[in-house]
Structure 1
């Protein structure tokens, strides 16, 4: 598995979240615009970029 960079605050970028989930970043972007993944894990906007809580992504996988 590729290395996933988790920020000290526990967030990951969209591309790292996609790597971890085995998806393409565009898939998460599509989910973002449709609100599909809101029920599974929340996103945060920082400087115009989307980040995800890594612990919630791991819980989503389990």
Structure 2
């Protein structure tokens, strides 16, 4: 799995951080920080859910 974040689309809702805190974090202004662009298999479901619920559609998942 490869995770891609589009910072221009990020609205700072923080759902990704709640669902996959080992993969996503937030800057002081709320924008997403991608901690692990190639997370281990046990995190794939959480990352896919984070991408689905992202209100700005800022998270893309490949693989």
More helix by share: 1
TM-score surpassing 0.5? no
Query: What is the TM-score when the length of structure 1 is the normalising length?
Result: 0.30
Q: Say which one has the larger Rg.
A: 1
Query: What is the TM-score when the length of structure 2 is the normalising length?
Result: 0.30
